[in-house]
């Protein structure tokens, strides 16, 4: 029982009471004793018991008797109140000893000696009050206990539900506590790592798992041996024909980290399907490119007059056919580039290149196209102060990335719009920043997260009937990032878009 509860119990007793240590010092006293003597508890505690009695010599004899006796001692004495009143009392003393018989102090119970009838009435009144209070307290306590039991049962049911959900969760779950110990796993983890009994791995730290359980080695090396690092949806090849998507989430409650949750999702099937799809696209694209190239050269020969003269009507139809064939060839090339990127087969031949020169060459290609005149577009190039900015790059790939970004700006900018290309040297960061700004149709905010994904086309581009494959930005992003660069954009629907990419500067000339 707590000290607070004991004090409340003592105060509820109808008799005046105190406890005295072996030195005769008052250690505790209840409220009835305060009422009887006029002293506050704080005034009595710490004082010698002699202060409460009129007979000083007799109390010394009484204390000695208490320390030597094994029985309760009862004595009539005179209590000296705070206001100097003398009160005739009956004192009952009970010595307290430990198991070895050592004297630890004694209890004193005081009762004022009154007339028998008056005392009986007061006692009956006090008993009734205490009995009523006790019944009310008992009823309240029973209600509280009932509520506690209901809450416990409800919490137990919810706990069991949660454990059942975790145990049957389709993804593997591991929980590491603050000390980096594995405290919880579900059945899927046992299945993935071939562990028959959970208790074999529970309570183990990451170094222990690494040393004692070889199946965990790739995962622990991926997560970190000393501390589990936060990550999101990263791929891990655990073993042959088993690829996992790993997410590591810190578990926090009231700004305190409780531990780390590791989620493992088996994506082997998705990766196999993705590989098969890429192989199919690659084979189909290669098979289509050869006949399309043949068609292109035959049409070119006819349009150049190598096979005889054409009427105006024939030329118009053949030019439309030639343009359609060119679009198909570009689509096939984009599909092949995407396949190479996904399979990691794209080869970069890096060497020192002037990025200003590459950008200017791309812009010259577009200036020669009729789209600028047909749409009455303003095409502007703002160069940096530096004459040459050298980067480590694959010229062909970087040309393609920038071409895709410019191509988007041209296609999605309406008649009379503006396209601005700006190149800046960020000296403090050692980077060169290129931006392509247009006054086009923009990208809806709710679709902007998907801009750099394969085959993405915003809904407003479809409404505007603008042609495109949805592969250009995906290819551009992969090329820029493969050059240790970054690419991002800002866009507002019906106001335009600005695409930015930065690359490390090798040197300035």
Residue 116 has pLDDT above 60, yes or no: no
Residue 241 has pLDDT above 70, yes or no: yes
Domain final position from 343, 372, 389:
343
Strand arrangement of the beta sheet that strand 16-20 belongs to: 26-29, 16-20, 103-112, 86-97, 73-80
Q: Give the CATH number of the domain where residue 75 resides.
A: 3.30.450.20
**Surface-to-core class of residue 487, CB atoms within 10 Å of its CB (0-12 exposed, 13-18 middle, 19+ buried):** buried
User: Quick check: is 363 in a domain?
Assistant: yes
Distance of alpha carbon 7 from alpha carbon 13, whole angstroms: 10
User: Is the same domain home to 200 and 243?
Assistant: yes
Q: CB neighbours (10 Å) of residue 365?
A: 12
Predicted TM-score (pTM) of this structure: 0.52
Question: What would you measure as the largest C-alpha separation in the chain, in angstroms?
Answer: 147
- Return the percentage of the chain with pLDDT > 70, whole number: 94
Residue indicated by tokens 């305060």 = 34
Quick one: DSSP state of residue 196? S
Average pLDDT of the residues in 386-393: 93
What secondary structure does DSSP assign to 62-100, as a single string? HHHHHHH-SS-EEEEEEEE-TTS-EEEEEEEEEEEE-TT
pLDDT for res 493? 92
pLDDT for res 13? 67
What tokens appear for 3 in the block? 């000290």
Pairing of strands 378-382, 256-266: unpaired
Distance of alpha carbon 404 from alpha carbon 316, whole angstroms: 28
Could you read off the pLDDT of 400-445 as tens digits, one per residue? 999 999 999 988 999 999 999 999 999 999 999 999 999 999 999 9
User: Quick check: is 305 in a domain?
Assistant: yes
User: Is the same domain home to 330 and 418?
Assistant: no
- Return the percentage of the chain with pLDDT > 90, whole number: 29
User: Quick check: is 7 in a domain?
Assistant: yes
User: Is the same domain home to 387 and 337?
Assistant: no
Measuring CA to CA, which residue among 262, 267, 236 is closest to residue 250? 262
Average pLDDT of the residues in 77-95: 90
User: Quick check: is 143 in a domain?
Assistant: no
68/346: higher pLDDT: 68
User: Is the same domain home to 380 and 487?
Assistant: yes
**Could you tell me how far CA 403 lies from the centroid of its own chain?**
39
User: Quick check: is 153 in a domain?
Assistant: no
Pairing of strands 26-29, 16-20: antiparallel
User: Is the same domain home to 295 and 261?
Assistant: no
Domain final position from 266, 300, 325:
266
Residue 352 has pLDDT above 60, yes or no: yes
Domain final position from 239, 266, 293:
266
Residue 243 has pLDDT above 70, yes or no: yes
Count of structural domains within the chain: 4
Residue 236 has pLDDT above 70, yes or no: yes
User: Quick check: is 119 in a domain?
Assistant: no
User: Quick check: is 121 in a domain?
Assistant: no
User: Is the same domain home to 79 and 7?
Assistant: yes
Residue 342 has pLDDT above 80, yes or no: no
74 DSSP β-pair partners: 92
User: Is the same domain home to 295 and 248?
Assistant: no
Average pLDDT, the chain: 85
User: Is the same domain home to 380 and 262?
Assistant: no
Could you read off the pLDDT of 434-468 as tens digits, one per residue? 999 999 999 999 999 999 998 888 888 877 666 77
User: Quick check: is 376 in a domain?
Assistant: yes
**Residue 393 domain boundaries:** 351-508
Reported as type and span, the H/E element at residue 4 is helix 3-12
**Surface-to-core class of residue 254, CB atoms within 10 Å of its CB (0-12 exposed, 13-18 middle, 19+ buried):** exposed
What tokens appear for 493 in the block? 């629907």
220/163: higher pLDDT: 220
pLDDT for res 114? 67
Q: Give the CATH number of the domain where residue 439 resides.
A: 3.30.565.10
pLDDT for res 11? 64
pLDDT for res 8? 67
User: Is the same domain home to 331 and 478?
Assistant: no
pLDDT for res 9? 63
pLDDT for res 452? 93
User: Is the same domain home to 392 and 498?
Assistant: yes
Measuring CA to CA, which residue among 449, 476, 445, 472 is closest to residue 460? 445
User: Is the same domain home to 494 and 385?
Assistant: yes
117/393: higher pLDDT: 393
Average pLDDT of the residues in 285-312: 85
Contact 417, 439 (CB under 8 A): yes
pLDDT for res 50? 92
Contact 503, 391 (CB under 8 A): yes
User: Is the same domain home to 476 and 430?
Assistant: yes
- pLDDT level of residue 1 (50, 70, 90 thresholds): very low
Instruction: Output the CA angle 458-461-467, nearest 5 degrees.
Output: 115
What tokens appear for 378 in the block? 């303003």
Residue indicated by tokens 């050692």 = 430
pLDDT for res 446? 93
Range of weakest confidence among 156-165, 183-192, 287-296: 156-165
């Amino acid at each position: 029982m707590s000290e607070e509860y004991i004090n409340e119990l003592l105060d509820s007793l109808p008799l005046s009471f105190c406890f005295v240590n072996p030195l005769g010092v008052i250690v505790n006293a209840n409220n009835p004793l305060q009422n009887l003597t006029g002293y506050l508890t704080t005034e009595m505690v710490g004082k010698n018991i002699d202060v409460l009695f009129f007979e000083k010599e007799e109390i010394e004899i009484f204390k000695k008797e208490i320390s030597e006796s094994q029985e309760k001692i009862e004595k009539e004495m005179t209590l000296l109140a705070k206001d100097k009143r003398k009160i005739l009392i009956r004192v009952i003393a009970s010595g307290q000893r430990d198991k070895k018989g050592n004297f630890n102090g004694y209890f004193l119970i005081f009762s004022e000696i009154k007339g028998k009838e008056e005392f009986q009435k007061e006692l009956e009144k006090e008993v009734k009050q205490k009995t009523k209070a006790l019944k009310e307290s008992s009823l309240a306590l029973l209600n509280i206990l009932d509520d506690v039991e209901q809450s416990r049962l409800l919490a137990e049911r919810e706990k069991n539900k949660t454990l059942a959900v975790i145990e049957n969760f389709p993804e593997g779950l591991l929980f590491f506590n603050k000390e980096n110990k594995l405290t919880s796993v579900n059945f899927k983890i046992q299945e993935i790592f071939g562990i028959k009994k959970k208790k074999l791995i529970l309570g183990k730290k990451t170094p222990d798992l690494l040393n004692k359980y070889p199946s965990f080695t790739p995962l622990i090396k991926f997560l970190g041996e000393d501390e589990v690092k936060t990550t999101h949806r990263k791929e891990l090849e655990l073993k042959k024909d088993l690829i996992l998507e790993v997410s590591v989430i810190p578990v926090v409650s009231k700004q305190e980290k409780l531990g780390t949750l590791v989620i493992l999702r088996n994506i082997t099937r998705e990766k196999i399907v993705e590989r098969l799809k890429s192989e199919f696209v690659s084979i189909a694209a290669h098979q289509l490119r050869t006949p399309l190239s043949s068609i292109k050269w035959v049409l070119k020969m006819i349009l150049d007059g190598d096979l005889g003269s054409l009427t105006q009507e024939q030329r118009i139809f053949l030019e439309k056919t030639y343009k359609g064939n060119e679009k198909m060839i570009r689509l096939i090339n984009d599909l092949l580039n995407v396949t190479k990127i996904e399979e990691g087969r794209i080869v970069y031949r890096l060497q020192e290149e002037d990025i200003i020169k590459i950008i200017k060459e791309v812009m010259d290609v577009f200036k020669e196209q009729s789209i600028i005149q047909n749409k009455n577009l303003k095409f502007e190039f703002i160069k940096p102060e530096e004459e040459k900015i050298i980067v480590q790059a694959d010229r062909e790939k970087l040309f393609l990335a920038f071409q895709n970004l410019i191509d988007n700006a041209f296609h999605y900018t309406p008649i009379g719009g503006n396209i601005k290309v700006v190149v800046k040297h960020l000296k403090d960061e050692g980077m060169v920043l290129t931006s392509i700004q247009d006054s086009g149709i923009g990208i809806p905010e709710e679709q902007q997260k998907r801009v750099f994904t394969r085959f993405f086309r915003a809904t407003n581009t479809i409404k505007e009937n603008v042609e495109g494959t949805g592969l250009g930005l995906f290819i551009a992003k992969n090329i820029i990032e493969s050059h240790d660069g970054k690419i991002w954009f800002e866009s507002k629907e019906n106001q335009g878009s600005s695409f930015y990419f930065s690359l490390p500067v090798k040197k300035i000339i």
